Amino acid sequence: MNFPVADLHCDLLSFLAKVPNADPFDPNQIPCAFPWLKAGGVRAQVLAIYTDVHPESMELASRQADLFVKLLEDHPETVCRWDAAFQQKLVSTEQLGIIASIENAAGLGTPSATWSEIYTQFDNILEKVGKLAYISLTHHTENRFGGGNYTEGIGLKADGKRLLDYLAGKQIPVDLSHTSDLLAAGILNYIDGNQLSIPILASHSNFRSIWNHKRNLTDEFAQEIIHRGGIIGVNFLRAFLDSEQPERLMEHLLYGSRLSEQTIAFGADFFYTKDFPDESRHPIYFPLAENASKYPSILSLLSQELAQGQLQKLAYENVFRFYQNLWS
């Protein structure tokens, strides 16, 4: 089924920043290469600025922001900024709308960075990329802001609270996809307790009720996102769907639609897999979701269970509505 698709997460920028001779037009290099995106009907794509917890994380984040700008400057026939104006002209343009996000606030501040340096880093990145689709405070591991999804017993730290204070009112959502459960609870409680204006989403997460993995959302956190008018992008990685059964992708999508058909979206999480060190994780994706060309066939399979209006909401309408409300 050929609906426009809006996807909430891919790692094209870190691929361009770190892989020698990286080419966003080469479909053999990365599953979210531009030809795959075009073949899959993807019209709007979030490009994550991803960094690990590393002494050079701020430099790497800045380099990815520069690469975002370079994509726009070098390939205006292929990409344009994803903003409110782009959403209005979707039917009249062939360009792919792109917007940056920050995956791991370690890219904003290393452990030794001063708060003046963190604020400057944030402001410089935002000035370059224009808008941010969201910010996640952590990735897999702990950083100065809080606990990552594989850390135990670590929630929202004092620096995380200070970062939330800085984000308040800026209309930049906070992403719960890589938080520990304690960090997710801490973020929500701190926002509520201090009456901060900060939207919430999960850009690339599945449901723990379907597959019991720490990277997946509990029903409690899914309901919090729904209650707050957020969106949840379903992740295509095999490890977070079910290690053996590819049809679990459909179960996660249908489960999310049953929880709230106004909330569910795509957040495939396509990245460069050729140097992924954990052999047990290969193949990273099941064949039915191995690259960005697969959205039409996924939507076609879902059409056996969902009506056309529900499929359109999943494909792009929920995401566009969320950002339209945010930017209006």
Digitized pLDDT (tens) for each residue of the chain, 328 residues in all: 789 999 999 999 999 999 999 999 999 999 999 999 999 999 999 999 999 999 999 999 999 999 999 999 999 999 999 999 999 999 888 999 999 999 999 999 999 999 999 999 999 999 999 999 999 999 999 999 999 999 999 999 999 999 999 999 999 999 999 999 999 999 999 999 999 999 999 999 999 999 999 999 999 999 999 999 999 999 999 999 999 999 999 999 999 999 999 999 999 999 999 989 888 899 999 999 999 999 999 999 999 999 999 999 999 999 999 999 999 9
Q: Tell me, what's the pLDDT at 246?
A: 98
Residue indicated by tokens 């973020």: 187
Q: Among residues 113, 15, 13, 100, which one has the least CA distance to residue 56?
A: 113
Name the 3-class secondary structure at 156. Answer: strand
5 contacts: CB under 8 Å, gap ≥ 6: 40, 41, 42, 43, 44, 266, 295, 315, 316
Q: Among residues 98, 110, 134, 8, which one has the least CA distance to residue 51?
A: 110
Residue 242 to residue 162: CA distance in whole angstroms: 37
Domain region containing 258:
5-327
The DSSP letter of residue 279 is G
Taking each helix axis as running N to C, give the angle between helix 158-167 and helix 181-193, from 0 to 180 degrees, rounded to the nearest 10: 50
Pairing of strands 79-81, 96-103: parallel
Q: Tell me, what's the pLDDT at 226?
A: 98
Instruction: Find the CATH number of the domain harbouring 208.
Output: 3.20.20.140
Pairing of strands 200-201, 79-81: unpaired
Residue indicated by tokens 């509990």: 218
Q: Tell me, what's the pLDDT at 166?
A: 98
Q: Among residues 56, 43, 77, 42, which one has the least CA distance to residue 14?
A: 56
Residue 192 to residue 111: CA distance in whole angstroms: 27
Q: Tell me, what's the pLDDT at 279?
A: 85
- The structural domain count of the chain equals 1
